[in-house]
Amino acid sequence: MPSPTVYRSGTVAIVGRPNVGKSTLLNTALRERLAIVTSTPQTTRDRILGVVRHGDAQIALIDTPGLHRPRSRLGRHMNSIAREAAREADAVIFMIAVPSERDELKPHPGDTTLLEAVGDPARVVFVINKVDRLADRSVLLAFIDAWSKLASFAAVVPISARRHDGVELVLGEVAKLLPERGAVYAEDFLTDRPVRFFASEFVREQIILATRQEVPHHVAVTIDRFDESGKVVHIEATIHCAKESQRPILLGAGGERIKSIGTAARRRIEEMVERQVNLKLWIEVDEAWQDSSESLGEFGYDGSGNVDGSDR
Ligand SMILES: Nc1nc2c(ncn2[C@@H]2O[C@H](COP(=O)(O)OP(=O)(O)O)[C@@H](O)[C@H]2O)c(=O)[nH]1
Ligand SMILES: [Mg+2]
């Protein structure tokens, strides 16, 4: 049976400061745990595209790194990815999280700067996430009021991405902003990233969850071997950290930590490939890689989307 015609399609960049819930929204909208989510800011380093069908529309959502004050070349690269995605997209989801206290009602300067960078608010759906945190709904109204004075958005939608609450409303609003044209992606197209990209991300996710403080920001993961020719998928990955002192933290006592990182990441990868996975992890120290353009390129943070550690 031919699939029904898609009348609207286009790209929608999800932008906002770190930790507001952009990646959670992507995953919820796609009903797929694609993007990695943690409570640590700057978890997302790359743009990740995920395509979702909503009514007559095909929406290509682009998750982006949170805009922040960069402290390294990597940070600057992450910011430029987000700005570029917002510029090039047909529409923008501009996301903030509800303030937890009344005195935070004033828009954050980081948000107002970002709003200016995004441009015409008529193509922006303003999404207020984490409303589940609010005990007092009047705070939300006051917040919406403060923001509505700043710009006239195409729509304002309060949601709880974590609870799947309001996500369909967001998709409905962005669909209205997309140009009328046929489907750009095939019906079953989910993402433009290869499985090996997600394999490296899932390892990084477990490192962020298992280590604290500065370690997550100093770690990159490359895939040295990805062999799916047999029944079992064989993957070898290298964890690159920036200091020799981070190696024992990653290893843990008797290698316990790296072992549990590997087990959890392997389960996530198996969930995605729906096959048994054999995952081997290595640790390497690359001093100050976040400021080396060579290392950034090698680790795939140069816009090439390449996640191979080398051409091994
Ligand atoms: N309470 C609450 N937490 C959320 C919600 N959405 C996301 N989070 C949490 O906020 C943190 C950051 O989420 P993430 O999606 O990684 O944010 P990103 O940095 O903007 O991509 C994670 O701990 C999420 O579980 C929500 O609707 N409510
Ligand atoms: Mg994210």
pLDDT in tens, the chain (312 residues): 555 566 899 999 999 999 999 999 999 999 999 999 999 988 988 889 999 999 999 999 999 998 888 888 898 888 888 889 999 999 999 999 987 765 567 788 888 888 888 889 999 999 999 999 988 888 888 888 888 888 999 999 999 999 999 999 999 999 999 999 988 999 889 999 999 999 999 999 999 999 977 788 899 999 999 999 999 999 999 999 999 999 999 999 999 999 999 999 999 999 999 999 999 999 999 998 988 888 898 888 875 444 443 332
How close is the Cα of 3 to the center of ligand 2, in Å?
A: 33
How close is the Cα of 65 to the center of ligand 1, in Å?
A: 13
Long-range contacts of 241-248 (CB under 8 A, 24+ apart): 241/215, 241/283, 241/284, 241/285, 241/286, 242/218, 242/285, 242/286, 242/287, 242/288, 242/289, 242/290, 243/218, 243/285, 243/287, 244/285, 246/215, 246/218, 246/219, 246/285, 247/283, 247/285
Q: Pick the atom of ligand 1 nearest to 165's CA.
A: 27
Q: Is 8-177 assigned to CATH 3.40.50.300?
A: yes
User: Does the beta carbon of 133 lie inside 6 Å of ligand 1?
Assistant: yes
Question: What is the pLDDT at residue 69?
Answer: 84
Question: What is the pLDDT at residue 306?
Answer: 44
User: Does the beta carbon of 129 lie inside 6 Å of ligand 1?
Assistant: yes
Question: What is the pLDDT at residue 6?
Answer: 63
Question: What is the pLDDT at residue 11?
Answer: 96
Instruction: Give start-end residues of each CATH 3.30.300.20 domain in the chain.
Output: 195-298
Closest residue (by CA) to atom 7 of ligand 1?
21
Look-up of token digits 């999404």: 127
Write the pLDDT tens digit of every residue in 30-73: 999 999 999 998 898 888 999 999 999 999 999 999 888 888 88
Best probe residue, ligand 1, of 17, 28, 36, 37 (max atoms within 8 Å of C-beta)? 37
Write the pLDDT tens digit of every residue in 82-104: 889 999 999 999 999 987 765 56
User: Does the beta carbon of 23 lie inside 6 Å of ligand 1?
Assistant: yes
User: Does the beta carbon of 79 lie inside 6 Å of ligand 1?
Assistant: no
- Please state, in angstroms and as integers, the Cα–Cα distance from residue 290 to each residue in 32, 74, 119, 247, 252, following that order: 30, 5, 30, 17, 23
Task: Tell how strand 48-54 and strand 57-63 pair up.
Answer: antiparallel
Calpha distance 12→73 (Å, rounded): 26
Calpha distance 44→23 (Å, rounded): 8
- Please state, in angstroms and as integers, the Cα–Cα distance from residue 22 to each residue in 3, 97, 116, 203, 291, following that order: 30, 10, 19, 20, 26
Helices (H), 214-255: 246-251
Around 185, how many Cα atoms within 13 Å sit in the side-chain half-sphere?
A: 19
Question: What is the pLDDT at residue 248?
Answer: 95
Instruction: Give start-end residues of each CATH 3.40.50.300 domain in the chain.
Output: 8-177
pTM for the model: 0.90
User: Does the beta carbon of 162 lie inside 6 Å of ligand 1?
Assistant: yes
Q: Count CB-CB contacts under 10 A for residue 117.
A: 14
H or E, element range at 14: strand 8-16
CA 304 to chain CA centroid, nearest Å: 17
- Please state, in angstroms and as integers, the Cα–Cα distance from residue 275 to each residue in 87, 118, 136, 268, 269, following that order: 38, 41, 46, 11, 9
Ligand nearest to the CA of 35: 2
Candidates 3.40.50.720, 3.90.1170.30, 3.40.50.2000, 3.30.300.20; CATH matching 195-298: 3.30.300.20
